Amino acid sequence: MTTFEIVSTILNAVIALAAVVATAAAIFGLYTWRKQLRGQSEFTVASRLLRCAYRVKGVLQAIRAEISFNTPEELLPKLQQSLGDFSEAMADMEVLSPGLAKPAADALNDCVWEYGKALRRKKRIDTQNAKVTDDEYERIDRTLWVEPGNDALGQRLDSAMQSFEKVLRPIVGGARECKQESAKR
């Protein structure tokens, strides 16, 4: 073998090795980009879902606490809008992470459903002068209005929100920690 052939063989080996390294770097870059894109999507959807859940809770609490200048009937469209936004955000979360936030969403929806059921029952009693026991009327009132020291629905709302926090904060908080860590570098 001549010197020219040896140099040519080494050069070809280096070129082949460079192609393998470049391919590996491209695959690693695509994997990293995909992981970053998924993380960003999860962060966006999780933070939106958390905001929507807090909005539903806030509107429901405002209706129940009678602290607003509006009547509960006037605030119901806000609750419906909040629930619509919440449902959209929950659907997005189900696409990204099926089942992750479903138990918390079910708990929040159950609270809203229970409130709606009590409100419909009270309207039926008021409009039809229906006969109702004192216990049933008291149970309806406890659901519709906040009663300090005896607010089972409020406790269930808080529990549902704690479930959301437990599930979604690591996603939202984890992204913040990554941003802070990359900012330090």
Q: Got the DSSP string for 51-82?
A: HHHHHHHHHHHHHHHT-SSS-HHHHHHHHHHH
Query: 185 vs 40, which has greater pLDDT?
Result: 40
pLDDT value, residue 68: 56
Q: What is the pLDDT of residues 102-159, one digit of tens each?
A: 999 999 999 999 988 888 888 888 788 777 788 888 888 878 887 777 788 889 999 9
Whole-number Å distance between alpha carbons of 171 and 175: 6
The answer to whether position 178 is within a domain reads: no
pLDDT value, residue 15: 94
Q: What is the pLDDT of residues 153-176, one digit of tens each?
A: 889 999 999 999 999 999 988 655
Quickly state the pLDDT bin for 88 (edges 50, 70, 90).
Answer: very high
The answer to whether position 101 is within a domain reads: yes
Nearest one of 62, 55, 64 to 150, comparing CA atoms:
64
Count of domains for the chain: 1
Mean pLDDT lowest for which of 7-21, 53-67, 135-149? 135-149
The answer to whether position 181 is within a domain reads: no
Quickly state the pLDDT bin for 70 (edges 50, 70, 90).
Answer: low
**Domain range for residue 70?**
3-169
The answer to whether position 182 is within a domain reads: no
* Residue 19, number of CB atoms within 10 A of its CB: 10
The answer to whether position 54 is within a domain reads: yes
Query: 180 vs 75, which has greater pLDDT?
Result: 75
The answer to whether position 118 is within a domain reads: yes
The answer to whether position 20 is within a domain reads: yes
Quickly state the pLDDT bin for 71 (edges 50, 70, 90).
Answer: low
Nearest one of 99, 80, 82 to 91, comparing CA atoms:
99
Helix axes 134-144, 152-184, angle to 10 degrees: 20
pLDDT at 67 over 70: no
The answer to whether position 177 is within a domain reads: no
